[in-house]
Structure 1
Amino acid sequence: MSSVKLGLHAIRVGNIFCIGRNYAAHAAELGNRVETEPLVFLKPTSALLDESEPIRLPDYSRDVHHECELVALIGKGGNDIPLERALSHVAGYGVGLDLTARDVQADVKRNGHPWTKAKGFRGAACVSALAPAASVADPQRLTFELRVNGQLRQQGDAGLMLFSLADQISYLSRIYGLSDGDLIFTGTPEGVARLASGDRLDLSLHGLAAAHWEVA
């Protein structure tokens, strides 16, 4: 899978940018500091997963965590995008999972290595179908949730982000440049936890998008 669905259209994905530690409570639950600028990491497009396939946990980890997030699709790329125009570059909004091999992440962090093995494995970027950006007046008022086996695990309120989506877009465009089809995983709230075979995950971006996965 190298595309996402926006309405009836399949949009080819370019880069997958992820923002870490963007909710204070999540940073606190993992014992991490709050960053002074967006903490950015990348996932390969081979990590994308839609609802047509189950989540398959990597065999080199025993502690894969779910991280439910608001996801934004860039429809119009650019460099040095001003903050006040940033949201006009968004084509759609969805909900997704930034899956993380937490034991692997702890090991690579301890050794000063990149996070890719912990964050970029196949199926580590789960994404719902996306709703058009025109249907969202203010993304910072969006709420989302994750239920695992029917029990509420994560509740997200985009208004609690440390760096708003507009901040993220402006920053990413200034440092890396943004392209049509780029995805932004905007950070996860508290409540991350280990997944197990047989788990059923139900995600909702309230009123806009929903997605469902089972863990193989």
Structure 2
Amino acid sequence: MPANMLFDLPAAPAVPITGSDALFPVRRIFCVGRNYAAHAAEMGNEVDREAPFYFTKSAHALILSGTDIAYPPGTSDCHYEMEFVMALGAAAFEATVENAMQAVYGYACGIDLTRRDLQAAAKDKRRPWDLGKDFENAAIMAAITPATEFGLIADQAITLDMDGTRVQDATLSDMIWSAPEIIAHLSRFYHLSPGDLIYTGTPAGVGPVAPGATLKGQIDGLSPVELGITR
């Protein structure tokens, strides 16, 4: 850091990689909205099949699996959303569906926390969702499994248990927009780069968390993601 900087900034967050001592540094977090039809329906929305849409989270919203956090501030209706996460290890700009997956380093289980009341208020006023989506500890992530070890994205189960009860249960094949379609489309608007994460949307069954709750999300072939909400 140059000596004339007024203060130091935190280092980029990093995610462990299964079977390796290496760490994956995180640059940006993109999130796909309404990518499971049943979830869109439960939220009272119709699926937009013209193109996927996105919101973002700060990289410093990221925390690792196994963490306990305080209930998020400024909300009385914080929701869990279990997600399949893609971690990019190569650049992609104006990629095609055929070559998009060349940019993927690996995959992970993730949880997107949402301050639903703040998101709903923003929607009602046609304002951005930032207060509802982008806040400290709002992106939880487990260790990354390299794509070569995970294999093809197909009908792997994606589930979430809260306090030992199954609340979300779907398969990756239920996604409206596939992994290569997401990367190809997003790369038309951003120069995607190594260190970028893409949270690919959540299945139906989202709901509120309360102080004292424990969450465990799983996807076949990946390390589970776990989170505790302290009282």
Q: TM-score, normalised by structure 1?
A: 0.96
**Deviations, residues 34-65 of structure 1 (Å, cap 9, x unaligned):** 11211111000111011353133222100000
Which residue of 1 is the match for residue 8 of structure 2?
none
Q: Is the 8 A contact 2:91 2:194 kept in 1?
A: yes
Contact 1:131 1:209 in 2 (8 A): yes
The count of aligned residue pairs is 216
Report the residue type matching 1:2 in the other structure.
P
Secondary structure of residue in 1 paired with 2:99 = helix
Partner-residue secondary structure (3-state), 1:171: helix
Contact 1:18 1:40 in 2 (8 A): yes
CA drift of 1:152 comes to 0.3
Secondary structure of the residue aligned to 2:51 is coil
What amino acid maps onto 1:28 in structure 2? A
**Cα RMSD after superposing both structures:** 1.2
More helix by share: 1
Moved more, 32-41 or 160-169: 32-41
Give the number of the structure whose alpha-carbon radius of gyration is greater: 2
Q: Which runs of 5+ in 2 are unaligned?
A: 1-11
Pairwise CA distance, 1:2 = 1.4
Counterpart mapping for 1:107-122 below 5 A: 107-122=121-136
- List aligned pairs for 1:35-184, cutoff 5 A: 35=48, 36-184=50-198
Q: Secondary structure at the match of 2:188?
A: helix
Moved over 3 A (4+): none
Classify 1:68/1:52 alpha carbon distance in 2 versus 1 (closer, same or farther; 3 Å).
closer
Matched, 1:192 2:206: yes
Matched residue, 2:220: 206
Report the Cα distance in structure 1 between the residues aligned to 2:71 and 2:134, rounded to whole angstroms: 12
* Alignment-derived partner of residue 5 in structure 1: 16
- Give the distance between the partners of 1:51 and 1:161, measured in 2 at CA: 24
Distance in 2 (alpha carbons) for counterparts of 1:57 and 1:126: 14
Aligned position for 2:5: none
Instruction: Give me the whole-angstrom Cα distance separating, in 2, the residues matched to 1:87 and 1:55.
Output: 34
Q: Distance in 2 between matches of 1:140 and 1:17?
A: 22
SS of 2:154's equivalent in the other structure is helix
Q: CA contact under 8 A between 1:56 and 1:123: conserved in structure 2?
A: no
3-state SS of 2:74 partner: coil
Residue 153 to residue 95, structure 1, CA distance change in 2 (3 Å): same
